[in-house]
Amino acid sequence: MARLRQSLIVHYHEISLKRGNRPLFLRHLLRNLERATSDLGPVSVHQLPGRILLDLEGNEQGDAVAVRVSRVCGVASAALASRVPSSVDAMKGAVAALVEGRRFASFRISARRAFKTYPMTSVELNRELGAFVVARTGARVDLTNPELEIHVEVLPAETFVYAGRVSGPGGLPVGTAGTVAALLSGGIDSPVAAWRMMKRGCRVIFVHFHSVPYLPATSQAKARALVERLTEWQYRSQLFLVPLGEIQREVVLSVPPPLRGFVYRRMMVRITEAIGRQSGALALTTGESLGQVASQTLTNIARVNEAATLPILRPLIGMDKLEITAEAQRLGTFEISIEPDADCCTLFVPKHPSTRVSEDEIRAAESPLDLPRLIAMGVDGTRLEVFEFPPALAGRHM
């Protein structure tokens, strides 16, 4: 029997719903697949009708490639497949290789024709290949709950045969939706929010505020670790580390304690906008979830919005803490987020901030402040760090 060519077959979902823009989305997806697997040996990426093929000829790391691909936004699923000519004999050869050495009592064949002019229908293929497996293994056909499902995807020139597949994140390829600036604390929520924006196709730049030297630098280390992790989904990230301490020192001179937290938050928004605009960001994003804490009531969210001119997107607004935590665990950010740190929002503020502050109150509190100068102070003191994934490419700019 001829040696079977290994490949990874990638399916997408939402992109297939796009009409005019589909080629653009696919171009991004292909590029991201290449980038995500660039350190894992030879992989050549090809667009086929309705799916993408990663040719793994000469590649010994197929499983690792599959894991990487399962993290590429836009991918619905991926499967390591044998690739054979579209003749029934060749399909049987691939099916025989697939069942060899496997133990299963029941199975089904799920054939699918990507073009309808193939001389056999999918039902006929299911029957023919099913009978072949029964004769070879003695297993029975079970259409509803099979132990093994064998997928056969028939394209004009070649057919792909595979069993298991891994799910991808779905959504849209990073880079197709524009740039957003994420306010990244060291907490559980904001990394999840940033990831959700990536999954909608955004490129995310990260902005973290710290109060060094008034508080320890632990929050910066967490922000770095979080960005490093999240870069696995977007391949290159910028992290802007902004010193808030001096600004906070000025704020406390004139702003009464219950309002300080708001003024900090509004300063963060203004500075993030200034940084974000320089990178072409079209919106900001935060990890706020309605009512989760006192600072996230509708009234208080409105006060934060009034300081912004760009839209503030809050992808977690309708999620509860358990849902957010579960997602953080899936992403691997949870373990980083729960490390203790020194949150800049706690500097010079009372334990119980107001839950309702009017626009007039906050305006009055801010009126003694020279906002443009404070914003410039934050922007000027910012340090930029760049992260790359895969890390082997560090230092090379794409």
Q: Where along the sequence are the contacts to ligand ATP (CB under 6 A)? A: 183-185, 187-190, 207-209, 268, 286-288, 292-293, 295-296, 344-345
Residue with Cβ nearer Mg ion (264 or 389) = 264
CB 362 within 8 A of CB 266: yes
Residue with Cβ nearer Mg ion (187 or 378) = 187
Residue with Cβ nearer ligand ATP (127 or 224) = 224
Residue 122: C-alpha distances to residues 113, 114, 150, 304, 333 (Å) = 6, 10, 13, 57, 43
* Partner touching 333 among ligand ATP, Mg ion, none, CB below 5 to 8 Å by kind: none
Place of tokens 């490129």: 203
* Partner touching 184 among Mg ion, ligand ATP, none, CB below 5 to 8 Å by kind: ligand ATP
Q: Does 296 participate in binding Mg ion (rule CB under 5 A)?
A: no
What's phi and psi for 153, nearest 5 deg? -110, 115
> Which residues in 28-87 contact Mg ion (CB under 5 A)?
none
Q: How far is the CB of 380 from ligand ATP (least distance, A)?
A: 17
Among 116, 157, 167, 132, residue whose Cα is nearest residue 10? 167
Q: How far is the CB of 272 from Mg ion (least distance, A)?
A: 15
Among 332, 155, 342, residue whose Cα is nearest residue 229? 332
Q: How far is the CB of 219 from Mg ion (least distance, A)?
A: 9
Among 76, 68, 64, residue whose Cα is nearest residue 33? 68
CB 313 within 8 A of CB 285: yes
Nearest residue to Mg ion on Cβ basis: 187
Residue with Cβ nearer ligand ATP (76 or 347) = 347
Q: In whole angstroms, what is the distance from residue 117 CA to residue 125 CA?
A: 14
* Partner touching 177 among ligand ATP, Mg ion, none, CB below 5 to 8 Å by kind: none
* Partner touching 288 among ligand ATP, Mg ion, none, CB below 5 to 8 Å by kind: ligand ATP
Residues with Cβ within 8 Å of 27's Cβ and at least 6 positions away in sequence, in order, are none
Residue with Cβ nearer Mg ion (143 or 293) = 293
Q: In whole angstroms, what is the distance from residue 312 CA to residue 173 CA?
A: 21
Query: Would you call 224 exposed, middle or buried from its count of C-beta atoms within 10 A (0-12, 13-18, 19+)?
Result: middle
As given in the structure block, the two tokens for residue 96 are 């025989």
As given in the structure block, the two tokens for residue 316 are 């977690």
> Which residues in 146-205 contact Mg ion (CB under 5 A)?
185, 187
Nearest residue to ligand ATP on Cβ basis: 187
Element (H, E) at 225: helix 218-234
Residue with Cβ nearer ligand ATP (125 or 336) = 336
Residue with Cβ nearer ligand ATP (139 or 239) = 239
Residue with Cβ nearer ligand ATP (172 or 192) = 192
Q: How far is the CB of 243 from ligand ATP (least distance, A)?
A: 11
* Partner touching 286 among ligand ATP, Mg ion, none, CB below 5 to 8 Å by kind: ligand ATP
Q: How far is the CB of 346 from ligand ATP (least distance, A)?
A: 9
Q: Could you list the residues that contact Mg ion (CB under 5 A)? A: 185, 187
